[in-house]
Amino acid sequence: MSELVKNEKIDKEESPFSWKNYFRSIWDELFLLVRYNLMFLLCCIPVVTIPAAITSMHYVFVRIARGEKPGFKEDVLPVFKREFGRSLLAGILVLLALLVSVTGFLFYIRFAGENLFFMVPAVIIGSIALLVYLMSSYIFTMLAILDLPIKDIIKNAYMLAILNIKYSLCSGVYILIIGGIGVLLFPVTVPLSLMVLFSLAMFTSAYFSYYGIRKYILKHRDSDEGKPNAIKTSIADFSKSEKGGEHARANLSDQVT
């Protein structure tokens, strides 16, 4: 029986996802978060590597959320190399979508005070910006663990952001709070940012998005199979494989019964 199968059975029996487990994981793995925070910053120096670094961190933090001990050579590097191109493409798409939607929102909200008619497009475009922001967590988590084309990942992220709206919003708010602390208290928070703020934000993103993937993909895989609008269900195997490093992607149907 593969490690993924064993862990999924434990997940169903013990339901490890909880607020208590979220904060306990941060406390228990604080030094690991600091380590990966520094590694993330180093990987971001060339700029174009930022999306791949984000994807790698999501993979690592999904493993931590599952109670596992990830390694740099065994986990970060293989995912970084394997998903560099897809991550860069997804990162550019997310960035462009956010730039266009946020710019449009600010443009219309500027005139909404004089004419309420502009409030309608402002609300619509603002909602799109919020949705793209919430989708981004699922996109990078699925890039790390799902063997799917970009178009299916984006479709899944859209569906999960809505289906898992409660925790999508919680994750989004927490990340904004973490980012807000770093910006508003700058430069006092520079040492804190160098040590843990980035990894804390990405752990939050990975933790809550993986919950949605596990709840709406893994548990409903069989019942949704064959439906044209069903969420796609191919997920990485966390056991050893020869393809793409120690933890390569494989089809979920070969591992979960």
pTM: 0.79
For 11, half-sphere exposure in the C-beta direction (CA atoms, 13 angstrom radius) is: 18
List the chain domain ranges.
Answer: 3-251
CA 252 – CA 135 distance, rounded (Å) = 22
The predicted pLDDT at position 139 comes to 96
Digits of tens for pLDDT over the chain (257 positions)? Answer: 334 444 444 444 344 578 888 888 888 889 989 999 999 999 899 999 999 999 999 999 999 988 888 888 888 889 999 999 999 999 999 999 999 999 999 999 888 878 888 899 999 999 999 999 999 999 999 999 888 899 999 999 999 999 999 999 999 999 999 998 888 888 888 888 888 999 999 999 999 999 999 888 766 554 544 444 444 444 443 333 333 333 333 332 333 32
The predicted pLDDT at position 155 comes to 93
CA–centroid distance for 116 within its chain:
36
CB-based burial, 219-232: b 16+ in 10 Å, e otherwise? eebeeeeeeeeebb
Cβ-proximal residues to 54 (8 Å cutoff; 6+ apart), any chain: 40, 87, 91, 140, 202
